[in-house]
Each structure stands twice: as structure tokens, then as C-alpha cells.
Amino acid sequence: MMFMEISFSPLWLSLKLAVFTTIILCVLGLPLVYALHFKINQHLLKTIIKSLVSLPLVLPPTVLGYYLLVALNPDSFLGTIFEKVFDIRLVFSFSGILIGSVIFSLPFMVNPILSAIEHLPSYFKDAAYTMGKSSWVTFLRVMLPNVKASVVVGVTMSFAHTIGEFGVILMIGGNIPEETRVASIAIYNEVEMLNYANANIYSVILLVFSLTALVLINFFYAEKNTSAL
């Protein structure tokens, strides 16, 4: 009977957000890793870009959410363009929390892959160049396959991190049922209404999911290390 009182919409919305965020991060993150490793040679510029990518790791989610709210509101430059040209309202909408989730989870995709590629022996790159391969082909066909464990970690951590995100989504999207009320916000909403039993059910589901993701990552690494021996 307790499960009948639970709306599964927040769980579905969290899953949808995590899937879309992860796909976008793959599309944007891999070219960014390529650019940082192959194209951006100026040390100061590379350091600044790396710092900006990693900023969500140390910046309070509410601070990032506030600045995104300011940048994406209907009176802002970006908000006006999206609303007038594409008829898309960015704040308090799924589109807005998707943008926020992509920015907030970007370091979880980029950092492990970039770190792994930077620690690859130089002969991988040298051998590919000797065979006449371009830097992009070298990145896709030589370097990425040799850091596939880090790619899996980046994808899994980005997905899992988005599932549990709260602060940024609350600031940009609010608490709108069927639109922006993801599972983490549903937990907050249930606690606010003193519905602790319902909050517990949502929390257990997220806990099991997060633990499963970590077990899969560790299992993948263990399998990789065993096969390497």
C-alpha cells in the first residue's frame, strides 16, 4: 500500500535527465579532451580551461545554480534568444535543468579521460604519427581504446552524479511536478511535508542505484587489472 502513494514520475525524470546529460557530455566532453591534449599548447590557457571545467567540483551547487539562473532567465541575453527564436524557456523547465546538469557533471566526464590520456606512454602517439594518422584519428582509434576503463568511469560517474543532483536543479528548475521535480527534489519535498516513509523509499532507490554504479566501476577495474596480468 505504501508504494501506491509513491509517484514514480520523479524517478523517471531523473533517469531521463541522466541519459540526456550523459549523451551530451559524450558529444561535448570527448572533443574537449582532444582539444586540451592535442590543440591547446599554451600552458596558461590550458590551465584556465582545466580550472573552469573542474570548477563545479569545488563550487557550491547553489552558487553555480544562481549564476545559471541569472544567465538563463527570460530577461537575459541567452534566455531572450532561446525564448524568441526557439520558443524555449530555459528556467524552471527540463531544458534548463539539462543545461545545468551538463555543466555540473562536465568534470566527471572530462577529468578521468584526460588524466588517463595524459599518462599514456608517448610511443602510442608517435607510432600513430609515423603511420601518417592525423591527431583526431590517433585520439579516436589509438588513445581512447587504451583508456577505455577511464571512459567507462567517466560515463558511469556522469550518469550517477546526475541522478543524485539536487542544488543546481532546484535553483534553475524549482520543484515543478512532471517537469523539474527529479528524485532528489522529491525526497526534499516529502521531508518538507513530513512524509518520511515516502522520502525513505525514494532514498533507498537512489542509494541502491548509486551503490550498484560504484560496484560496477570497481568490478570493471578489477577485471581490467586481472586481464592485464
Mean pLDDT across the chain, nearest whole number? 88
Distance CA 114, CA 30 (A): 9
Q: Give the DSSP per-residue string, 24-66.
A: HHHHHHHHHHHIIIII---HHHHHHHHHHHHHHHHS-HHHHHH
Residue 181: pLDDT band by 50, 70, 90 thresholds?
very high
- Which among 94, 70, 65 has a CA at the least distance from the CA of 171? 65
Yes or no: say if 5 and 153 are a contact pair by the CB < 8 Å rule. Answer: no
Residue 6 in this model has a pLDDT that exceeds 90: no
* pLDDT tens-digit readout, 62-81: 999 999 999 998 888 888 88
* pLDDT tens-digit readout, 97-129: 999 999 999 999 999 999 999 999 888 888 888
DSSP count for the chain of H helices, then E strands: 12, 0
Distance CA 139, CA 145 (A): 9
Give me the pLDDT at residue 124, please. Answer: 82
pTM for this structure?
0.87
Distance CA 37, CA 56 (A): 21
Domains of the chain and CATH, by start: 8-183 (1.10.3720.10)
Distance CA 206, CA 18 (A): 13
What mean pLDDT do residues 143-152 have? 89
Give me the pLDDT at residue 78, please. Answer: 86
Residue 162 exposure: Cα atoms within 13 Å on the Cβ side: 31
Distance CA 115, CA 75 (A): 39
- Which among 100, 93, 95, 91 has a CA at the least distance from the CA of 73? 91
Residue 223 in this model has a pLDDT that exceeds 70: no
Give me the pLDDT at residue 227, please. Answer: 53
